[in-house]
Structure 1
């Protein structure tokens, strides 16, 4: 098993939304959730014959993935931390992430003199790794009509809207998987509407040389479940403090049980996590330790959560 940086290119528009609204599937996400990306890769490998059983993959995952974030103009986009603000008048960004622990210790911060007006918090938004510009998602919106499968005709009153991420959009992500992925290019499908041609994409894997540390701070690449201890196999993450806002999160779709995973509480992406890593973890922290959730009288595996990168790696990805 090894860590890869995956590059994804949409070959057709993709309908990737957080939830369905009254008017349809609108308001696309600015990223591909880690659980969705993992499911797409697992499905592609199953069709190849490289994965023999969905049931075994659900019990003992051989593929894990972080969320996939945009890649544009040669730069990766990353979630901003709680210690980043934008000066609207100057068009600049204040980044005090490196001083976060010192600020938390002193419990004081003064940034008012760095902007001509009160700065705007950008915590959780996506910013360019080099330019620090905020990401502008390219998408389009259209209206479709529901089709009666028996009559093969439109159904009166069954209009719904969808908003799709534009073809050609690129993403990057970390993927933890077998050495056989090295250099592979797979065709995968992301989001809804694959039977109508939506969400077709290619993904290519290249080994990533990760730096490891046993003690935080870490930056959350994904939502982080605020537990004191998270263990997966022989790896344990012991969390002492998370600095960030906690929200409710729908933990994705369980493709094996054909049901939604439960809603959980999680700290937003970009949060600063002070933690110790113990045991045989290696690159696992980059894609997130899976979590067993008890729901509906059963145990459900939640992935795409708890992905952390060291503070140094966060700045390495941004070019220093």
Structure 2
């Protein structure tokens, strides 16, 4: 008889859990959840410390212990991978999101469509994880960031003595929940790992010696003999539809690795599992799957696991059974197929499925924020340094090196936005979500605008001690109408004059809100978060707007010359 224990993980340091790709890439991405294999490694590490796990007896001791993937947990809700059958109209989504991002914006919802039924929408959802609140879906995205690292080698055989590379990691102070399943005879072993405090510290993921991976792992509630009770403790809110019928819908809640009777990889649930769970056979009617490659690294071996084909989490399979099942039969089917992991490598969290999960057809636009963690909504980490003057000076030098190293790539990113705006602005009108840039200003007005803008930028950077304060638009004559022409140059439906007022700390409130909403959108991207991670706190949004406007005016100035 299988027993279940719900585990909660809170990372005290950023988590670096590699997400595959080329190992030669200097920017290694990270997963946004904690795989079961990573949790299993933490349990084995605890057993090694206690002297229980040895090379001879270790494999037999942990046989039968299965670790489910740990997914984000916020406000008493577990967020599971988004299923592939849910789709949205991207144009409606962007409009709703832009409105909700403005101060005082409504917490609106948007309707979704289902590819298992007739649907015209083909755009995937933005949120990687979903949960349910009432009759509405809510999304979550664990915050991640890139950190620049510098390594030096003293080995004479190494051709490259120094190396710069980026690690992506999950931001610290996030909460995840998982299930640990085991046999009844292994309960004393599990209790010895947890201890009397029902919690322990462990390092998860990679780069443990570089400030990554420290986590607090604790139990939630008591050991459960029923999977359904364990799922309640887990915070799993998505109900299962158990009405009489013939349709069996399987949603992969983790990556799955299935093989047929000959040991060959297949992209569906083996027939034997359906016959054992339902008592009848069925045929595959719809298949919405995304395939992936299994990966992993064994520290003991010092080598990577073999790569195998998997069905990625979120894949959906719809089967048509030979006969209709009653409600009581569906309850038995759900328990049989859900109470254990299916397929291969279940000890590493592969094979978690949900049966006939009923997802609401409406999605809340705003992301769910962790009320117990004010930093959960941040996607850029702040840097804290020691109080020692020497440490402060060293940290300031490091940040200066990073800023200089990113200066050229940041300029290329701004130029890319400008070139894209110039190319596509010919037939577009000014709007709150776009940059408008067209020919129409002569060289002298452009020179005046650049000079005025650079005075504002010097003020923002704190280097304007030898400059006069820039003029606001109210002090400029109405003859300079080019300053108010949004058809030629504008950001977020704001003219040059409105932008200058915003940079000087004034201007209309509505225009300022549009500029800040556009800046938040761009700084929330991967590149924006990287290039402006070391900006001066509240000045990061005005500084981005000023530098983007400077890049646009400089581009027009060069075209005119």
Instruction: Return the alpha-carbon distance in structure 1 between the equivalents of residues 262 and 357 of structure 2.
Output: 23
Structure with the greater relative contact order (CA < 8 A, sep ≥ 6): 1 or 2? 1
Instruction: Return the alpha-carbon distance in structure 1 between the equivalents of residues 318 and 52 of structure 2.
Output: 37
Instruction: Return the alpha-carbon distance in structure 2 between the equivalents of residues 55 and 25 of structure 1.
Output: 39
8 Å CA contact 1:290–1:302 kept in 2: the answer is no
- TM-score for the superposition, normalised by structure 2: 0.43
Higher strand share: 1
8 Å CA contact 1:188–1:201 kept in 2: the answer is yes
Match of 1:307 in 2: 352
Match of 1:137 in 2: 142
**CA apart distance, 1:168:** 0.4
Match of 2:288 in 1: 244
- TM-score for the superposition, normalised by structure 1: 0.71
8 Å CA contact 1:230–1:289 kept in 2: the answer is no
Deviations 1:215-239 (A, max 9, x none): 95432121122434699xxxx7358
8 Å CA contact 1:82–1:123 kept in 2: the answer is no
Instruction: Return the alpha-carbon distance in structure 1 between the equivalents of residues 24 and 71 of structure 2.
Output: 27
Mapping of 1:154-165 within 5 angstroms? 156-165=161-170
Match of 1:288 in 2: 341
Distance 1:302 1:62, change over 3 A: closer
Instruction: Return the alpha-carbon distance in structure 2 between the equivalents of residues 200 and 11 of structure 1.
Output: 6
Name stretches of at least 5 consecutive residues in structure 1 with no aligned partner. 104-108, 113-117, 277-281, 293-300, 316-320
Match of 1:210 among 203, 206, 227: 227
Deviations 1:141-194 (A, max 9, x none): 22222143679xxx7431221122111011111221333436731222111111
Match of 1:270 among 314, 320, 325: 314
8 Å CA contact 2:253–2:314 kept in 1: the answer is yes
Mapping of 1:162-177 within 5 angstroms? 162-177=167-182
8 Å CA contact 2:81–2:128 kept in 1: the answer is yes
SS of the equivalent of 1:30 reads coil
Match of 1:297 in 2: none
Distance 1:53 1:263, change over 3 A: same
2:59 counterpart of 1:57: yes
**CA apart distance, 1:21:** 5.1
8 Å CA contact 2:5–2:181 kept in 1: the answer is yes
Name stretches of at least 5 consecutive residues in structure 2 with no aligned partner. 98-108, 230-239, 241-246, 264-271, 276-282, 322-334, 361-561
**CA apart distance, 1:65:** 1.1
8 Å CA contact 2:147–2:168 kept in 1: the answer is yes
Instruction: Return the alpha-carbon distance in structure 2 between the equivalents of residues 187 and 39 of structure 1.
Output: 13
SS of the equivalent of 1:42 reads helix
Between structure 1 and structure 2, the one with the greater Rg is 2
8 Å CA contact 1:290–1:304 kept in 2: the answer is no
Instruction: Return the alpha-carbon distance in structure 1 between the equivalents of residues 262 and 39 of structure 2.
Output: 22
8 Å CA contact 2:16–2:212 kept in 1: the answer is yes
2:180 counterpart of 1:179: no
**CA apart distance, 1:133:** 3.2
Distance 1:60 1:44, change over 3 A: closer
Equivalenced residue count is 284
8 Å CA contact 2:7–2:219 kept in 1: the answer is yes
Match of 1:220 among 235, 252, 256: 252
Distance 1:21 1:256, change over 3 A: closer
Distance 1:287 1:24, change over 3 A: farther
Mapping of 1:106-121 within 5 angstroms? 109-110=118-119, 112=120, 118=121, 120-121=123-124
